[in-house]
């Protein structure tokens, strides 16, 4: 069999293996829905699609966290090529295609990588199966950004000695939406350059060149994402209590072999996704056989690599692992110890390829035997790993959403942080109807606070904490009109107050602010009121009379037109004050820039003169436009470079 023919056979084999777990449910009208698919991925993808179909780049999302920069969200996948599926197909169909593509890609790229190192066709098939159908890959089914990043990691190893392709792979990894996997790919690439290349110094030079080139290709996301990171609570790292939330216990190490060892009754990737690690009995046998046949020096390096990572994944379960995790600087930006388990697959897949090759050579059996055993075992575990629901699940509203769509208008609602624990008896449809996570965004309902987004502007989070803290209910009553919050949704009734009117039970106990008739996104303040209005988290003077201004959404840009009343004073706007918002004041037939000052920590206020007729607030982020320009220039340079190289080959 020549090598080109083997590539085609491998591609077809992996397609036939990856298709059935998704095809059979899809034919029945069923789709995975679990966890992030509902809470994060569906809202992100649908918002991007809605904005792009309207002819706008999704720069700012006004429905989440008092408003936040959508184009800066690293986990969104806005620029990732495969995200185009969600822009042209309905979510269940796009999800079906996305899953098949990336599981196939994970298997095939790993196959190509091990093949490039000189392993046989069959042994490379085994390594591809372990990478693309093992427990770590299957556990990422609801995390589309994890899955797409994970599937591309072997590509970075494959193109180590080709800087342009290596750079493009790193850029795709970054655009895919999970930067920790990008960092892991670069870290592993450095080690592999010294372990698997004949000229490691030259390979390291190629690697550095590729990393430098990737900065230009990925600038469209890199610049705004870096800006968001600097302004987010994540800039200081992950706090210990959160970091150790999803760690491994010593007994979980058995689950690297097979889910059978934990009892199939307890095998639940949907619930315990971070412990879904299995390599399969077949895969574990090949890995152990490969390690036993390695030269001593390489064996020691691989075993040290695996052992060190296993120790780190136990952070939170023992003092030594916790100490290492807390004192290795870059680990403070990794959310959970279980999220580095994938790095163990790098030496494991190489060992499996060597083990399969040695097994075939020494056993005298057909080369297809280890491949078939491994494929059957891993496919058995993968089937029905996650629960399914009809396609209509993603468009289901429920009574609460229908009520808010009818009555909320452009105002906001404030939802209790206990949303995840509240059930209305609708079973899994509670996931949609109770508005947990970011599920309000697809229905264009503006929330004062959301749950589940890792990177949010720190000032927005501070205001959320002010509303969700120990005195949150009392603060919320007084802040609601200023934050344009019409409804408060909480699990239990509270005594009737002047500031809140009880509206009944719709999953949640619902209260409406008594100021709802004068509620608005922007208010006019007298000169004295505006100057004294709190910049930080404090209750505004209760004697200020609410004087709402007319606010219109701009059609061709993210922003507002606020109608003026001609009087001197201040305009308060309950839109997040974040870099990129630019103000323009129209007065006396002249329009000129106007700066804003912080108000209530997250919002903004602007001083207006006598005779002003309009105020324009436009989200026009320099970081996005500079980033896009650099990326476009980089890809144009790549095009002409490739054209020149092809011309050289002709002659």
Rounded Cα distance, 20 and 379, in Å: 9
Instruction: State the pLDDT at residue 336.
Output: 86
**Which CATH number fits the domain that encloses residue 583?**
2.60.40
- Residue 294: inside a domain: no
Residue ending a domain, among 474, 497, 518, is 518
My answer on whether 503 and 543 are in the same domain is: no
Residue ending a domain, among 518, 539, 569, is 518
The strand pair at 412-415 and 388-390 is best described as unpaired
My answer on whether 535 and 426 are in the same domain is: no
Closest CA to 80 of 7, 157, 146, 30: 146
Instruction: State the pLDDT at residue 116.
Output: 93
- 345-349, 471-475, 477-481, 647-651: segment of lowest average pLDDT: 647-651
- Residue 445: inside a domain: yes
- Residue 17: inside a domain: no
My answer on whether 549 and 456 are in the same domain is: no
Instruction: Give the confidence band of 2 by pLDDT, cuts at 50, 70, 90.
Output: low
Instruction: State the pLDDT at residue 249.
Output: 87
Rounded Cα distance, 641 and 635, in Å: 10
My answer on whether 445 and 528 are in the same domain is: no
* CA-angle at 245, arms to 345 and 276, nearest 5°: 35
3-state secondary structure 163-180: HHHHHHHHHHHHHHCCHH
Q: Which residue did the predictor score with more confidence, 475 or 95?
A: 95
Render pLDDT for 278-313 as a digit per residue (tens, 0 to 9).
999 999 999 999 999 888 888 898 999 999 999 999
Render pLDDT for 155-171 as a digit per residue (tens, 0 to 9).
999 999 899 999 999 99
Instruction: Give the confidence band of 89 by pLDDT, cuts at 50, 70, 90.
Output: very high
> Which domain range does residue 601 map to?
522-620
Let me know: does 75 contact 44? Beta carbons within 8 Å. Answer: yes
Res 196 pLDDT > 70: yes
Res 599 pLDDT > 90: yes
Beta bridge partners of 109: none
Rounded Cα distance, 355 and 127, in Å: 10
* Mean pLDDT calculated for residue range 573-583: 93
My answer on whether 415 and 495 are in the same domain is: yes
Instruction: Give the confidence band of 242 by pLDDT, cuts at 50, 70, 90.
Output: confident
Tokens of 148: 């797409």
- Residue 595: inside a domain: yes
- Residue 163: inside a domain: no
My answer on whether 486 and 414 are in the same domain is: yes
Domain count, the chain: 2
Instruction: State the pLDDT at residue 650.
Output: 61
Let me know: does 148 contact 176? Beta carbons within 8 Å. Answer: yes
Backbone φ and ψ for 134, nearest 5 degrees, come out as: -70, 175
Instruction: State the pLDDT at residue 533.
Output: 94
Instruction: Give the confidence band of 253 by pLDDT, cuts at 50, 70, 90.
Output: confident
Res 1 pLDDT > 60: no
Closest CA to 448 of 489, 402, 494: 489
- Residue 530: inside a domain: yes
Residue ending a domain, among 500, 518, 536, is 518
My answer on whether 533 and 605 are in the same domain is: yes
Rounded Cα distance, 381 and 440, in Å: 34
My answer on whether 509 and 542 are in the same domain is: no
Res 418 pLDDT > 80: no
Largest CA distance in the chain: 93
My answer on whether 506 and 607 are in the same domain is: no
Render pLDDT for 9-49 as a digit per residue (tens, 0 to 9).
999 999 999 999 899 999 999 999 888 898 899 999 999 99
Instruction: Give the confidence band of 226 by pLDDT, cuts at 50, 70, 90.
Output: very high
Beta bridge partners of 60: 69
Instruction: Give the confidence band of 98 by pLDDT, cuts at 50, 70, 90.
Output: very high
- Residue 603: inside a domain: yes
Let me know: does 577 contact 600? Beta carbons within 8 Å. Answer: no
Let me know: does 489 contact 414? Beta carbons within 8 Å. Answer: yes
Res 543 pLDDT > 90: no
Res 427 pLDDT > 80: no
Most confidently predicted of 98-107, 191-200, 383-392: 98-107
Provide the 8-state DSSP code for 41: I
CA distances from 168 to 150, 210, 221 (A): 15, 8, 14
**H or E element at residue 508:** strand 508-513
My answer on whether 477 and 498 are in the same domain is: yes
Res 590 pLDDT > 80: yes
- Residue 348: inside a domain: no
The strand pair at 412-415 and 446-447 is best described as parallel
Let me know: does 315 contact 295? Beta carbons within 8 Å. Answer: no
- Where b means 16+ CB within 10 Å and e means fewer, 320-334 reads ebbeebeeeeebbbb
Determine what percent of the chain is predicted with pLDDT higher than 90: 58
My answer on whether 435 and 482 are in the same domain is: yes
My answer on whether 492 and 545 are in the same domain is: no
- 136-140, 395-399, 430-434, 478-482: segment of lowest average pLDDT: 430-434
* Mean pLDDT calculated for residue range 453-470: 86
Instruction: State the pLDDT at residue 588.
Output: 82
Rounded Cα distance, 577 and 585, in Å: 17
């Amino acid at each position: 069999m020549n090598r080109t023919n083997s590539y085609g056979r491998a591609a077809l084999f992996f397609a036939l293996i990856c298709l059935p777990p998704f095809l059979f449910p899809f034919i029945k009208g069923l789709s995975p829905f679990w966890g992030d698919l509902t809470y994060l991925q569906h809202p992100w993808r649908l918002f991007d699609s809605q904005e792009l179909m309207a002819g706008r780049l999704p720069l700012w999302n006004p429905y989440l966290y008092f408003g936040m920069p959508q184009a800066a969200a690293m986990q969104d996948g806005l620029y990732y090529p495969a995200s185009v599926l969600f822009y042209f197909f309905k979510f269940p169909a796009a999800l079906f295609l996305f899953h098949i593509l990336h599981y196939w890609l994970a298997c095939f790229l790993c196959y190509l990588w091990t093949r490039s190192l000189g392993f046989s066709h069959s042994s490379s098939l085994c390594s591809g199966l372990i990478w693309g159908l093992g427990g770590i890959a299957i556990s990422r089914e609801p995390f589309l950004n994890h899955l797409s990043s994970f599937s591309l990691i072997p590509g970075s190893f494959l193109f180590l000695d080709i800087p342009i392709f290596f750079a493009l792979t790193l850029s795709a990894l970054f655009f895919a939406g999970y930067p920790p996997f990008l960092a892991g790919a670069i870290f592993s690439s450095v080690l592999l350059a010294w372990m698997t290349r004949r000229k490691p110094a030259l390979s390291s030079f190629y690697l550095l060149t590729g990393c430098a080139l990737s900065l230009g290709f990925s600038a469209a996301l890199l610049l705004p994402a870096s800006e968001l990171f600097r302004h987010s609570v994540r800039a200081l790292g992950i706090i210990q209590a959160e970091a150790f939330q999803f760690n491994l216990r010593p007994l979980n190490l058995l689950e690297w072999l097979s889910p059978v060892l934990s009892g199939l009754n307890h095998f639940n990737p949907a619930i315990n996704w971070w412990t879904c690690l299995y390599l399969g009995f077949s895969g574990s046998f090949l890995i152990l056989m490969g390690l036993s046949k390695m030269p001593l020096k390489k064996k020691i390096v691989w075993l040290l690599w695996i052992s060190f990572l296993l120790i780190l994944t136990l952070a939170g379960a023992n003092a030594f692992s916790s100490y290492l995790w807390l004192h290795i600087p870059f680990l403070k930006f990794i959310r959970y110890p279980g999220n580095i388990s994938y790095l163990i697959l790098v030496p494991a897949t190489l060992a499996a390829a060597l083990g399969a090759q040695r097994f075939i050579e020494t056993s005298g059996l057909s080369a297809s035997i280890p491949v078939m055993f491994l494929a059957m075992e891993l496919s058995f575990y993968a089937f029905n790993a996650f629960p399914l629901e009809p396609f209509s699940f993603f468009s289901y509203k429920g009574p609460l959403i229908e009520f808010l769509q009818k009555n909320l208008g452009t105002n906001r609602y404030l939802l209790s942080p206990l949303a995840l624990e509240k059930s209305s008896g609708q079973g899994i449809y509670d996931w949609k109807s109770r508005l947990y996570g970011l599920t309000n965004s697809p229905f264009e309902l503006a929330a004062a606070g959301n749950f589940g987004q890792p990177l949010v502007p720190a000032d927005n989070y501070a205001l959320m904490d002010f509303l969700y803290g120990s005195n949150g209910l009392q603060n919320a009553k007084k802040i609601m009109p200023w934050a344009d919050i019409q409804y408060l949704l909480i699990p239990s009734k509270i005594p009737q107050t002047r500031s809140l009117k009880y509206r009944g039970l719709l999953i949640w106990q619902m209260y409406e602010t008594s100021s709802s008739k004068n509620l608005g996104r922007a208010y006019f303040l007298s000169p004295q009121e505006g100057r004294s209005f709190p910049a930080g988290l404090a209750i505004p003077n209760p004697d200020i009379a609410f004087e709402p201004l007319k606010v219109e959404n701009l059609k061709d840009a993210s922003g507002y037109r606020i109608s003026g009343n001609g009087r001197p004073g201040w305009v308060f706007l309950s839109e997040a004050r974040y870099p990129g918002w630019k103000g323009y004041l129209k007065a006396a037939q002249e329009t000129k820039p106007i700066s804003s000052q912080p108000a209530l920590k997250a919002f903004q206020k602007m001083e207006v003169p006598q005779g002003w007729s309009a105020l324009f607030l436009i989200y026009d982020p320099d970081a996005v436009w500079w980033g896009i320009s650099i990326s476009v220039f980089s890809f144009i340079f790549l095009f002409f470079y490739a054209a020149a190289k092809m011309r050289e080959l002709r002659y």
